[in-house]
Structure 1
Amino acid sequence: MALLPGPFLCGALIGFAWLIAPGLAVEVKVPTEPLSTPVGHTAELTCSYSTSVGDNFALEWSFVQPGKPISSSRPILYYTSGQLYPTGSKAERASLLQNPPTAGVATLKLADVRSSDTGTYLCQVNNPPDFYTNGLGLINLTVLVPPSRPICSQSGQIVVGGSAALGCSSAEGAPKPVYNWVHLGSSPTPAPGSMVQDEVSGQLILTNLSMTSSGTYRCVATNQMGSASCELTLDVTNPSKGRVAGTLVGVLLGILLLSVAVFCLLRFHKDRKRKPKETYGGNDLREDAVAPGISEQTSLRADASKGLLERSPSASTVTTTKSRLPMSV
C-alpha cells in the first residue's frame, strides 16, 4: 500500500511538465475590443502568437461578413513553407506587418479600407505537432463611413385635421446614423404630442395638421464621421375651402353658359327679322292675275283699253296744236 502514491505522483509531474514545456501549444493573442478605422485609411489588425516555429509552421488570415458563421470564412492570405500567398478579393490590399511572420508577430495590414471590409477577421496559426490549442484569434473590424445623403419622403392625408408621416433614410453610414427633423421658418411651435420623431428609424409623425403645419422640413442624418441632409415641402390643404371654391366655380360656369345661350338666341331672332320674305302666301294677289270666270280674250281687251287711256293725253295735245294753225280759205 505504501508504494501506491509513487505512480500517481509521477503521472502528475509528467502531466505538469507537458503543460509548461515550450513548443507544446500554440497561443494566439488579439485585441479584445472591436477595431474601427475610417473609410479610405489603412487598418492594422494586431495578432501575435507564441510557439516554437518549425518547418510545418503556417499562418492564415480569413474574413467573415457580419451575421454569418465562422465556417463561411473566406481566405485573405496564407503563409507557409516560407512563402506568402495573398488571395481573394482583398489580395491587392492585404499584407503582413512583418514578413516572414516567424518572430511571433502576425499582424495584418489592410490598405484603403471600404465599407464592405466591415466584419470579423480570423488569425489562425498552425505549427504541428503543437495542437494543444486551436491557435485562433478573432478581430471585429468596423469601417467608419459618413452618412450618405438621405432620401426624404412623405405619406398620409395632408389636409387640415389629418396626419402625415415623413421618412428619412441614408443608404450608407457607419455607425448607423441618427436622424433629426426640423421645421424651417418662423411657424408657431407645434402643440405637444402633435410632432413625434424616431431618431433611429428617421420617421416623423405629424398629427392634427393645420395650415401652420405647411412649410419646409429638413432631415439631418449624423454619425461620428459627419452629417448629410434632405428637405421636403409639406402643403396642407383645407377640404372645406376646396369645396366652396369648387361650388363657386360651378356657379360661375353655369352663369357663363346661360349668358352665351341667351346671346345666341337673341342674335338668331334679330337675324331672322332682317331676312326678306321670298315666298308668298295663298292670300297674296298679283297685279297681273286673272280673276276667276274672266276669259283670256276679255283680259286682252281690258289691256288694250288701258293702253288707249294711257295714250289719250298725247292725242289731245296733237289736236290742240292743230287747232292753233291758221286756216286757209
Structure 2
Amino acid sequence: MAGLPGLLLCAALLGFVCLGAPGLAVEVKVPVEPLSTPAGKSAELTCSYSTSVGDNFALEWSFVQPGKPVSEAHPILYFTNGHLYPTGSKAKRASLLQNPPTRGVATLKLTDVQPSDTGTYLCQVNNPPDFYTNGLGLINLTVLVPPSSPSCSASGQTSVGGSAALKCSSSQGAPRPVYNWVRLGSSPAPSPGSMMQDEVSGQLILTNLSLTYSGTYRCVATNQMGSASCELTLSVTDPSKGRVAGALIGVLLVVLLLSVAAFCLLRFQKERRKRPKETYGGSDIREDALAPGISGQTSVRADSSKGFLERPPSAGSATTTKSKLPMLV
C-alpha cells in the first residue's frame, strides 16, 4: 500500500504532461524516387500520413509545371468537412484511391495521363492543432512519350572540300530522345575521322567533303518508349566539273549558231537561183533607148590615120523622122 501514492503521483504527472502538451505532429510520406507512366495510362501518386484526424482535417492535392516554384502550384482536388472537391483542368481525371481519406491514405489516381501532366504534385495535410511539422510531400511525375517523327535538314557548303551539317530533331519525346545517324547503301562510307556526331543535339558534322559523301543518310530518334526516323539525300558537287560543262555548253551553242547561219545562207542562195531573169516589156524604157523622134544613133569612130577621136554630130545635125505611131484622136 505504501507504493500506491507513488503510482498516483506518476499518473497525475503524466496526465498533466499530456494535457499541457501541444497537438501531435503531422507526418506525410511520399516516394523518394520519381514516378513515370506511359501516355494514355493511369498513374497512382502514393501519399500517406499519420495524425489524429479531427473535425478540422483537410487534404489538398496540387500541381506545378516543371521548372516553376511550388508557390505557383494549381489545385487539383481538396477534401474538407467530409466532402471531396475536384477542381482545375484535371478534375475529370483525378480521384482519391480512398475516399474519404481519413485512414491515413491520401493516394491520388490520375487517368489517361498526357504529356502536359508531367511535373511536380504536392500532397498536403492540415489537421489543426497538429501544426508542428511540415505536412507536405512532393512527387515528380514524368509522362513517357515515344519520339515523334523527326525532321532532317542540311546546311553548309555541299561542294568538294567543303563542310556540311546534318540536323535531326523530334518535337515530342519523353524522356528526351537520343539521335543516331547512319548512311544507307553499299557505296564506300566516309572515313570516321571526317564524321562527328552528337547524339544529344542530333547533329552530324561532315568535313572535307568528296563525291563519295553523296548518298542517303538516315537519322533514328530513340527513347525507352520507341523510335522514329527520317531520311535526307546529300549531293556533293564538284565546281571544276561545272566549269568544264559550262565551257562545253558554250562551244555547242556557238556551233549551233554557226550551223543555223550557214543553213540560212544556203537557203537564201538557193532561192535566189530559182528567181526568173528580168525581161523588158514593150512599155519599159531602157536607159540607152533614144527619145521618140530621133532616128540616128551617135557613135564614136576612131580615125587611124589622124590618131584622134571624131566628135559625134551635134544635136542640130541629127535627122528627125516622123513618128510612125498612130495618132489617137
* TM-score of the superposed pair, with normalisation by structure 1: 0.81
> Which runs of structure 2 are paired with 1:148-159 in the superposition (5 Å)?
148-159=148-159
Residue ranges of structure 1 left out of the alignment (5+ in a row) = 1-12, 304-329
Give the aligned partner of residue 210 of structure 1: 210
Q: Is the 8 A contact 2:217 2:232 kept in 1?
A: yes
Residue ranges of structure 2 left out of the alignment (5+ in a row) = 1-12, 297-317
Give the aligned partner of residue 324 of structure 2: 300
Q: Is the 8 A contact 1:49 1:105 kept in 2?
A: yes
1:112 corresponds to 2:112: yes
Change in CA separation of 1:128 and 1:286 when aligned onto 2, cut-off 3 Å: farther
Query: Residues of 1 paired with 2:159 and 2:321: CA distance?
Result: 95
Q: Is the 8 A contact 2:183 2:189 kept in 1?
A: no
CA shift at 1:210, angstroms?
Answer: 1.3
Change in CA separation of 1:91 and 1:103 when aligned onto 2, cut-off 3 Å: same
Q: Which amino acid aligns with 2:237?
A: T
Query: Residues of 2 paired with 1:281 and 1:204: CA distance?
Result: 92
Give the aligned partner of residue 25 of structure 1: 25
After alignment, is 278-287 or 167-176 more displaced? Answer: 278-287
After alignment, is 267-276 or 184-193 more displaced? Answer: 267-276
Q: Is the 8 A contact 1:23 1:51 kept in 2?
A: no
Query: Residues of 1 paired with 2:265 and 2:201: CA distance?
Result: 67
Alpha-carbon RMSD across the aligned residues, in angstroms, is 2.6
Query: Residues of 2 paired with 1:68 and 1:98: CA distance?
Result: 29
CA shift at 1:281, angstroms?
Answer: 8.8
Q: Is the 8 A contact 2:27 2:49 kept in 1?
A: yes
CA shift at 1:272, angstroms?
Answer: 3.2
Give the aligned partner of residue 73 of structure 1: 73
Change in CA separation of 1:22 and 1:220 when aligned onto 2, cut-off 3 Å: farther
Q: Which amino acid aligns with 1:138?
A: L
CA shift at 1:192, angstroms?
Answer: 3.2
Query: Residues of 2 paired with 1:285 and 1:238: CA distance?
Result: 77
* TM-score of the superposed pair, with normalisation by structure 2: 0.81
Q: Is the 8 A contact 1:125 1:135 kept in 2?
A: yes
Change in CA separation of 1:288 and 1:108 when aligned onto 2, cut-off 3 Å: same
Give the aligned partner of residue 194 of structure 2: 194
After alignment, is 168-177 or 274-283 more displaced? Answer: 274-283
Give the aligned partner of residue 60 of structure 2: 60
Change in CA separation of 1:291 and 1:131 when aligned onto 2, cut-off 3 Å: farther
Q: Which amino acid aligns with 2:262?
A: V
Query: Residues of 1 paired with 2:238 and 2:38: CA distance?
Result: 49
Q: Which amino acid aligns with 1:28?
A: V
After alignment, is 276-285 or 234-243 more displaced? Answer: 276-285
CA shift at 1:162, angstroms?
Answer: 1.3
Give the aligned partner of residue 165 of structure 2: 165
Change in CA separation of 1:61 and 1:291 when aligned onto 2, cut-off 3 Å: farther
Q: Which amino acid aligns with 1:277?
A: E
Query: Residues of 1 paired with 2:110 and 2:278: CA distance?
Result: 107
Query: Residues of 1 paired with 2:246 and 2:132: CA distance?
Result: 87
CA shift at 1:40, angstroms?
Answer: 1.0
Query: Residues of 2 paired with 1:62 and 1:227: CA distance?
Result: 33
CA shift at 1:243, angstroms?
Answer: 1.0
> Which runs of structure 2 are paired with 1:228-239 in the superposition (5 Å)?
228-239=228-239
Give the aligned partner of residue 247 of structure 1: 247
Q: Deviations over 1:32-73 (max 9, x none)?
A: 111111111110100011111111111000000001111110
Query: Residues of 2 paired with 1:238 and 1:289: CA distance?
Result: 88
Q: Which amino acid aligns with 2:324?
A: L
List structure 1 segments (4+ residues) > 6 angstroms apart after TM superposition.
278-281, 286-289
Q: Percent identity?
A: 75
Give the aligned partner of residue 313 of structure 2: none
- 2:324 counterpart SS class: helix
After alignment, is 258-267 or 128-137 more displaced? Answer: 258-267
